Structures are given as structure tokens and as C-alpha cells.
Chains A and B, each alone.
Chain A
Amino acid sequence: MLKRVFGTRSKERSESVQDDNESRRDSGAAMVEMAFIFTLLVMLLVGVVTAAIAFGQKNSIENAAREASRYAATLPEAWLNLDEVVAVAVEAAQGDLDADVDGQYICVAHTGQNVRRVVDSGGTTEGPGTCYPDGLSDSRIQVETRRQSQINAAIFSVDLNLNAKASARYERAGS
């Protein structure tokens, strides 16, 4: 009887210990799993956020190229100032083409005047030429904007060279 009793108790104790051990094991496994999940989630979250930022930056420099080309296309030539066009691009980019941006590059060209202005980390240069070959021969405005960006997934990252181009026919007389 005692044996039975003790035996039973012993068995119950043994089961209880086993339960504790299993619980402890489960808890450890859950911790490992959570750590693994958390890492994956963080990577995913950071990746999504940085990808969204990169999309936003790409959108900004596209918008900058569009706004600047359109603006320049409508300027009277006598007052066409490429500096002003560059400023429009910088403003339209809302910080994504500021001087402190990695790989900042803004090129504005008036093909009718055969003149282009480039602003990048090396400073500002102006001279003859176009921003990029496009196979056209009319009097037009070219704007090219570039910057560097990065998609970061916590433990690895991908560098991006964002680029946008816009060509617009010079619209005003006397171009």
C-alpha cells in the first residue's frame, strides 16, 4: 500500500518533474523561436521601412527632374538661369537632393544654347554639352538627378544608385 502510495507519489513527483522540465524546455524553445522570429521581423521591418524610404527618395528625384524641366521649359530665354533651375530641382526634391546627400548629382542642360550646369559633390561646373544622349536635336531642357540610397535589412544591405531623367521641349519663343 505504502509502496503503492509512495510509488504513486513518486510517479506523480516524477511526472511533475517531467512537466517542469518539459515546460522549461518549451519555454527555452519558445525563447529561441521568438529570438529567431524577432530577428526576422526586425529584418523585415527595417527592410520594408528602408525600401519605403528608397521609394520615397526615388519619387522625390523623379519629381525634381520633372518640376525642374517643366519650369525651365517655360522660362523666357533672355532670363534663363540654369542656377535657378537647379534650385527648383533641389526644392522639389524636398531634401533628397540637398548638398549633404550621398551621391548628390544634378545636371541641367539647355540644348538650344549648348550649355549645361552640373552640381555634385565636386562642386558646380558649367560648360557646353548635354546631360545625357537622347537622340533628339531640338531645343530642349534636360534634367538628370541622381543620389545614392540603401535598402537595409539589419544584417545585410543593398546599395542603390537612384537616377531620374526628364527631357522637355523648350516652349518659349526665342529658345
Chain B
Amino acid sequence: MRERLRSDRGASIFMLAISLFLLIGASAIAVDIAAIWLDRSTDQKVTDAAAAVGVLEAMTTGGQSACETALTYVAKNTADLDSIDTSGCTAFSGACVEGAERELPVTAGRYDLTVVYPVPEDHELMTSGIVGQQDQALHEDDGEKDCERVGVRMASTRNSLFAQVLGFSQGRTTVHTVAKRTEGDPRPPFNLLVLDRTGCNTITVGGGGGIIADAVIAVDKDTGVHLGLVPGIIAADSDGSGCSGSQGVIGISGAGSLLRSDGGVECPTWTGGTYLVPPDNFTAYEGCGQISVFAPGTPGCNLPACSVSGGGNEPVPPPTPLGSRYTRKVADYRYNCYSDYTNPPSSPDVRWASPALTLANQQDIDPCPDKATRDPYIYDLIQDVGQTGQPGSLPRWTDLGYTCNPSGSITIPSPGVVVNCGTLQITTGVSVTINGNAVFNGNVTVNGSLTVNPPVGDQAWVFFRNGRLSKSGSGRITFMYAMVYLSKTSDVKLTGGSGALVWKAPLDGRFEALALWSDSPSEHAWSGQATLDMAGIFFMPWATASYQGNGVMQQTNAQWIAWRVSVGGNGALRIAPPVGNALEFRDHMTILIR
């Protein structure tokens, strides 16, 4: 016995057993912990993508779609999931209410998922998932709106590979992401933006006509150095829900009809043409810009986003998804910074104020964030001018001794005039020059010449209380550094021909760069002119802007924002916005808060 005790035999086996147990145990734990950390990394990828796409859908389509799409992206980004039951997402139907948190727990395979929308500021998902639960935002949350946040939590359970020998049968890890939609960097200016949110044929080109968005020169605001060309951009905000049959948001019909956007860089959809853009003669490439539609059917020209018929040309480049809504709010913020658009004043009854600007009438905007420091310039002007009377003691036309069918050459000195005529007829050979502001109570028909031309260094406004501004083919209209306001009972019909149309926005002041603000829902019609010079922002959020007739309407410094746009009759509308002074839209972007 003693001898056996003295023997070393078996000691190695004992040591081996102990060593192997410890080593295998440590290895098992290490491998399983590594697997869980791999799960954690993968799951974070999944929740990032799901929350990001969820908030995109929440902002554009609604909560239910946000939930469904987020869960779909979870399935697509998870190797061991084919699909996820999204039927519970009906819990998110209906409008989002601030503070009214809704959650949907879903189990799929080895994953427990939770979709949260909206995500209140004090929700647990707004804190870190890392030990300690301290606030840890990948990006700082920069807003207070719960309805702009979507959260996705993902807990995955993994059966231990080896650690079961030590009694650890499963491991579990939980990650989450909250995504928030916000506005990011300024984007190149839109040449043309149509605001109709649901309509069909919101951009139509027919009869051999064309709309061309020119590339424009980007300028360094600090140094004035020309940086090169940015692409022309045409955008339609309609979701296409009003379309049926073969109709599209963009409708191109008729032989030779053309919708094109040009860019500063050669691209795969380059049509072969180039042209030089002064002053630095940058080369612009035809068909290398951007045409974007909010409706489904893109990329490419497909219903309901786009339709081509009757021999019309396919749009170049092919339309792409707009991605996010672009509303009129940029114009409102700049020129009409109002506190609460949903509770309009009772008087005056202007289109932007009554009915209220809501999603219901497709003019959704938020209260202006700078309302404490900026004035509602348009609203102030409407109030100042009113529906009757003589604002600012402007003299009345007839009190100055003129008839509503004047003759000869008339010059009205500053500060201007109230034209109290049912119809002011400026016949051939007659010239009317107003060196100040002008209020028109009714129609203005121009066969001769109408000029609004403020004193040097000043700016002017032209206010149409009622009626139509029209001109014949040979008539001449000049609005030099003047902002034109059209009430909801006014419109313009400017026939083309041998005449001239010069319409330039003020260079500074409260209406800087604004050439037209129209609250009218009537069609606004232009045609080609022998002399044409339009510069500034033409804001017609309720009206269809129509361009008909032969000739090219080339606007080198104009930005068009309209309810709809229609071009036909061999007319070609070329639009190039005033870079540096156009309405500046911002890209939407998603930030992740973890």
C-alpha cells in the first residue's frame, strides 16, 4: 500500500484531468462568449438598419408601414430568419400622437424583437444598452418630437456550443437602436418642385414640348469663387395615389416631348449633348441631372411614378425615388415666418391661412421656428394692403386723372399707385411706368407697355387684389426688382409673341429673390417671348404653371415651385435656379440614437 502511495503512477492522469477540465472549460466559455459578442455585433447592424428604415417609413407613410418595413429589414439582415410575421403592426395604424408610446413585441426564431413608435424622450431605449445605462447617443438627439423617432430592440438567445459542460446552456444579448429623422445639409437647389402630394400628371409634357432643368454654377458664399456645376433637379412630391390606369405622376406624351435634367459631370445616361454655362464656361452634360418622384415606380419610368405615351421621349435621366417629402415650408419660413399655420387668423381670408395648411389640404407645414425674430412678411403685406382702400396713402389711379383706358405715356412717381380699375387696359402704343409700388384692384390687360420700376437701389411690390394680369403677343411687361403678389382670386396669362417679359425679383430687403408669391389656385400661363428675362423664385403652391406655344422659355436665374406644371405646344421651358439665392432645401437624414 505504502509502495502504491509512493508511486507517481496516475499523477499525470490526474493532472491531465484537472488541466483539461480547466482548459476546456475556459475555452468553452471563451468560444461561447465570442459567439455572443458576434451576435451582438450582428444584431446591432440589424437594429440600425431596421430603425433607420422604420423612421423613413414613419415620416412618409405612417406607423404601420414603419413597423412592417422595420421587421422586414430585420429578417433580410438576419441570416437565420426568412421572414417575420408583421400582422401585429396594425397596432401602429392611425396618426402618431406625441407621448403616446406604442410597442409591439414579436418573437421570431431565437430572437425577441420590440418595435417602439413613437419613442418618448424618457423611454428606456433612449439610454445606452451598455452596462451602466448611462445616456449614450451615437448622435445627440436634436429634437423634441417623439413621432420622429422609431426604436427597435433585439434580444437574441444562443444555445451554448461548449459551455454547457460548465452548466451554461444558453447565452443572451440585447441591443437596440432608436433612429430619428431630421434635416441635414443643404442640397443643390431644385430647379422645379411640384407640391401636389397625391395627384397624377403633376408634371406633364405634351405636344412636342419640353422641360429642361439646367445645371447651375455652385458658388462659394464666402469667396464668390465658382466651384463648378451642380446638377439640375426636377422633383415631384406626389405619392401617386391619385393615379389610375396608365397615368403617372410624370406624364410625357406626343412625339418629341421631352423631360430632361442636365448635370456637370458626364454620366451613364448622358444623351450626347453638351453646352457651356457662363461665366466660367463649365461644360454641362445633357441628361446627367436628376429627376426624382416620391411615388413608387422608380428607378426608371414606371407607373405610378412615370408614364410615356404617344411617341414621347423617355425622361433623361430616368426618374429616381425622391426619398422624402419636400413641402412649401422653406418658402414659408423665409418669407412668411408664421407662428401657427393650423390656427389661421380670420382676416384677411387668404389662401395660405384659410383653410389651414394641413396634410388634409396637402400643404403641410410646421410653425416657423424663427417666429420670435422674423416677421411674416407676406402676411404683413396682405394686412397692410387689405382688400380695399389706399395702403400707405398711395394715390388712386383715377384721382391722378387717368382713365382705365389711358393713352400716351404715363409715369407714376414713388411711392406708387392704387389702380382702382375693374380692368386697366394698356393698349398698343400706350406706356405706363410706375416708379414704386402698385396695387391692382382688377384686371390688367397689356398690349402696350407696363413697367414697375422702383427708384434706383430700392425695391417694389406689385399687389393684385383681384383680376388677371394678361398680355398680348406684342405687349411688354417689365417688373424690375419687384415682388408680385397674386391673391387667391388673381392669376396671370401672358401670351407669347414679339413682345417682352422682364420679371426680376428684388435684390435685397424682405422679399429678396422672391419674384412671385401666388395664393391663387388658377392656372398661371406663360408663353415664349421675343425678349424674356425672368429671375428669382416663382412660388405658386396652389397653381398649375403652364407654358404653351412655340419657342424656348429660358430662365437663367429662376426657381419654380408650383402645385403642378404643364408644358405643351412645342414650347420648351428651361429652368436654372439662382444659385446662392434660391430657396434652400435640406436633405433629410437619419441619425441613430443608441
Residue pair A174, B53 in contact (C-beta under 8 Å):
no
A52 to B208, CA, bound (A): 67
Residue pair B49, A172 in contact (C-beta under 8 Å):
no
Q: Is B114 an interface residue (CB 8 A)?
A: no
Q: Tell me the smallest distance from the CB of B18 to a CB of chain A, in Å.
A: 11
Residues of A within 8 A of B77 (CB): 165-167
Residue pair B49, A74 in contact (C-beta under 8 Å):
no
Q: Tell me the smallest distance from the CB of B74 to a CB of chain A, in Å.
A: 11
Q: Is A117 an interface residue (CB 8 A)?
A: no
Nearest residue, chain B, Cβ from A79: B265
- Among candidates A29, A48, A66, A174, residue contacting B323 with C-beta atoms closer than 8 Å: A174
Residue pair B16, A134 in contact (C-beta under 8 Å):
no
Q: Is B384 an interface residue (CB 8 A)?
A: no
- Among candidates B44, B231, B320, B324, residue contacting A112 with C-beta atoms closer than 8 Å: B320
Residue pair B49, A37 in contact (C-beta under 8 Å):
no
Q: Is A93 an interface residue (CB 8 A)?
A: no
Residues of B within 8 A of A135 (CB): 76
A82-119 Cβ-contact flags toward B at 8 Å (1 or 0): 00000000000000000000000000000111100000
Nearest residue, chain A, Cβ from B44: A66
Q: In B122-154, which residues have CB < 8 Å from any A CB?
A: none
Q: Tell me the smallest distance from the CB of A36 to a CB of chain B, in Å.
A: 8
- Among candidates B42, B231, B323, residue contacting A175 with C-beta atoms closer than 8 Å: B323
Residue pair A22, B7 in contact (C-beta under 8 Å):
yes
Nearest residue, chain B, Cβ from A114: B299
Q: A44-B24, A51-B31, A59-B37 are in contact. Are A74 and B323 (CB under 8 A)?
A: no
Nearest residue, chain A, Cβ from B24: A44
Q: In B23-56, which residues have CB < 8 Å from any A CB?
A: 23-24, 27, 30-31, 34-35, 37-38, 41-42, 44-45, 48-49, 52-53, 56
Q: Tell me the smallest distance from the CB of A4 to a CB of chain B, in Å.
A: 23
How big is chain B's contact interface, by range? 35 or more
Residue pair B20, A40 in contact (C-beta under 8 Å):
yes
Residue pair A66, B48 in contact (C-beta under 8 Å):
yes
Q: Is A148 an interface residue (CB 8 A)?
A: no
Q: A62-B41, A173-B324, A174-B233 are in contact. Are A76 and B187 (CB under 8 A)?
A: yes
Residue pair A171, B589 in contact (C-beta under 8 Å):
yes
B46-70 Cβ-contact flags toward A at 8 Å (1 or 0): 0011001100100000000000010
Residues of A within 8 A of B11 (CB): 30
A48 to B48, CA, bound (A): 31
A71 to B390, CA, bound (A): 58
- Among candidates B20, B45, B298, residue contacting A62 with C-beta atoms closer than 8 Å: B45
- Among candidates A62, A113, A167, A172, residue contacting B42 with C-beta atoms closer than 8 Å: A62
Q: Which residue, A66, A165, A171, has most C-beta atoms of chain B within 10 A?
A: A171
Q: Is A70 an interface residue (CB 8 A)?
A: yes
Q: A33-B13, A62-B45, A70-B48 are in contact. Are A26 and B8 (CB under 8 A)?
A: yes
Q: Is B290 an interface residue (CB 8 A)?
A: yes
Residues of B within 8 A of A30 (CB): 8, 11-12
Q: A51-B31, A169-B56, A173-B322 are in contact. Are A63 and B588 (CB under 8 A)?
A: no
Q: A73-B52, A78-B188 are in contact. Are A173 and B72 (CB under 8 A)?
A: no
Nearest residue, chain B, Cβ from A139: B321
Residue pair A170, B323 in contact (C-beta under 8 Å):
yes
Nearest residue, chain A, Cβ from B325: A173
Q: Is A58 an interface residue (CB 8 A)?
A: yes
Complex A-B, nearest 4 residue pairs according to Cβ-Cβ distance, in ascending order: A66-B45, A169-B53, A33-B12, A173-B323
Q: Is B246 an interface residue (CB 8 A)?
A: no
Q: A41-B23, A44-B24, A166-B77 are in contact. Are A172 and B588 (CB under 8 A)?
A: yes
A73 to B338, CA, bound (A): 34
Residue pair A174, B44 in contact (C-beta under 8 Å):
no
Q: Is B587 an interface residue (CB 8 A)?
A: yes
Residues of B within 8 A of A66 (CB): 41, 44-45, 48-49
Residues of B within 8 A of A27 (CB): 8
A74 to B9, CA, bound (A): 69
**Other A-B pairs beyond A27-B8, A29-B12, A52-B31, 17, CB < 8 Å:** A26-B8, A48-B31, A70-B49, A76-B185, A77-B290, A135-B76, A139-B321, A139-B323, A167-B76, A168-B49, A169-B49, A169-B52, A169-B56, A172-B324, A172-B587, A172-B588, A173-B322
Q: Is A65 an interface residue (CB 8 A)?
A: yes
Q: Is A136 an interface residue (CB 8 A)?
A: yes
Nearest residue, chain B, Cβ from A112: B299
A128-159 Cβ-contact flags toward B at 8 Å (1 or 0): 00000011101100000000000000000000
Q: A41-B23, A59-B41, A78-B230 are in contact. Are A171 and B35 (CB under 8 A)?
A: no
Q: Is A34 an interface residue (CB 8 A)?
A: yes
Q: Tell me the smallest distance from the CB of A105 to a CB of chain B, in Å.
A: 17
- Among candidates B12, B185, B298, B589, residue contacting A34 with C-beta atoms closer than 8 Å: B12
Q: Is B73 an interface residue (CB 8 A)?
A: yes
Q: Tell me the smallest distance from the CB of A137 to a CB of chain B, in Å.
A: 8
Nearest residue, chain B, Cβ from A23: B8
Residue pair A55, B19 in contact (C-beta under 8 Å):
no
28 sampled A-B residue pairs with Cβ under 8 A: A29-B12, A33-B12, A37-B19, A41-B20, A51-B31, A59-B38, A62-B42, A66-B44, A70-B48, A74-B589, A76-B587, A77-B290, A77-B320, A78-B188, A78-B263, A112-B298, A138-B321, A139-B299, A139-B320, A166-B49, A167-B76, A167-B77, A168-B73, A169-B53, A172-B587, A173-B187, A174-B187, A174-B235
Q: A169-B56, A171-B56, A174-B290 are in contact. Are A26 and B9 (CB under 8 A)?
A: yes
Nearest residue, chain A, Cβ from B321: A139
Residues of B within 8 A of A23 (CB): 8
Residues of B within 8 A of A29 (CB): 9, 12
Nearest residue, chain B, Cβ from A55: B34
Residues of B within 8 A of A26 (CB): 7-9
Residues of A within 8 A of B187 (CB): 76, 173-174
